[in-house]
Amino acid sequence: MGNLPSAAKHCLSYQQLLREHLWSGESVAGALDPAQEVSQLSGLPEFVKIVEVGPRDGLQNEKVIVPTDIKIEFINQLSQTGLSVIEVTSFVSSRWVPQMADHTEVMRGIHQYPGVRYPVLIPNLQGFHHAVAAGATEIAVFGAASESFIKKNINCSIEESMGRFEEVISSARHMAIPVRGYVSCALGCPYEGSITPQKVTEVSKRLYGMGCYEISLGDTIGVGTPGSMKMMLESVMKEIPPGALAVHCHDTYGQALANILTALQMGVNVVDSAVSGLGGCPYAKGASGNVATEDLIYMLNGMGLNTGVNLCKVMEAGDFICKAVNKTTNSKVAQAAFKARLE
């Protein structure tokens, strides 16, 4: 509190503080960093894998159709930040998701950096074959814990969707292609309202049983809170080991980081996020969507959790794509950091 004159922002100590907090994520040689002590004392994982979904889940919900070359440049920039998983695109029909119409060109156009994985979303067997032909080496299938949501999204029941996934997963495994499973509406559905943890567990268990190596539990409309996150994870973890789980939290109600923290404390160490908090929310127009990768990294850095990701480079990629879609970043860290530099 108190009005901070702009002179303070030029203060070397403040700049130093920001640098410390916008920590690059490179490990410090020698004595244990106090923050690392914290993470080890409290039972948190030592390493958190961030799955960057900006190019797919983020852009998919942006109104402006981003040109193919911009998407490719965006993904190439992300590839140089230390992120180890970047979801590239979705091999769905362009009738349903116009933003992803250039899926083949994007998949072929990106530079696949060693040590980085580039999964793509697959709705059915036909999409799978197109993806493989375009060079995809990892895929994801998209289930839901809500009958109404699945019906509205892909016009079938949960049971029928499982049938489609089964053939995709089976073909993928045949070709040694790893498959990730998404379960959306894990903490609430825009059509059905509340979703029981038991339903989420049932769908997750089916996908895991079919051969998905990881299940990403999505708070699709961002209504979850630490309470509902805890209850849902307690149920799912009876059937699926924490190491095979991820959380995908939308920030529509500002709860994402608190929900992610709760999941981390329960043993989950894979978190989905989108640079700049891209995506908006189709269910609350103008509201925010995916949790911002920058804000997530900032929190994880501050907790002494390794991510291997360079926050400054992520912010640069975020700045690039925000200019391209002509919008302000949804990341508070990016907003604060850029304003501090401009003063």
Alpha-carbon distance 189 to 123, whole Å? 20
Residues 244 and 323: their CA atoms lie apart, in Å, by 36
Compute the least distance from the CB of residue 176 to a copy of itself, in Å: 26
Residue 13, interface with a copy of itself (CB under 8 A)? yes
Stretch that binds a copy of itself, among 67-75, 101-109, 112-120, 281-289 (CB under 8 A): 281-289
Question: Residues 148-167: x/- map of binding to a copy of itself (CB under 8 A)?
Answer: xx--xx--------------
Selected binder of a copy of itself within 203, 304, 309, 315 (CB under 8 A)? 304
Which listed range, 74-82, 128-136, 299-307, 315-323, lies at the site for a copy of itself (CB under 8 A)?
299-307
Binding of a copy of itself by 280 (CB under 8 A): no
Could you tell me the two tokens for 235?
Answer: 């149920």
Q: According to the binding rule CB under 8 A, does residue 286 interact with a copy of itself? A: yes
Please, which residue, 170 or 194, has the CB nearer to a copy of itself? 194
d(CA 247, CA 229): 9
User: Which of the stretches 71-79, 105-113, 165-173, 285-293 binds a copy of itself when contact is defined by CB under 8 A?
Assistant: 285-293
Q: Is 10 exposed, middle or buried (0-12, 13-18, 19+ CB in 10 A)?
A: exposed
Count Cβ atoms below 10 Å from residue 152 Cβ, excluding itself. Answer: 13
DSSP-based three-state secondary structure for 292: strand
Residue 54 as a binder of a copy of itself (CB under 8 A): the answer is no
Q: Based on the shown chain and the rule CB under 8 A, indicate whether residue 267 belongs to the binding site for a copy of itself.
A: no
- Buried b or exposed e, range 269-301, using 16+ CB within 10 angstroms: bbbbbbbbbbbbbebbeebbbbbbbbbbbbbbb
* 281 catalytic residue (yes or no): yes
Yes or no: say if 182 and 216 are a contact pair by the CB < 8 Å rule.
yes
- Active site amino acids: 281
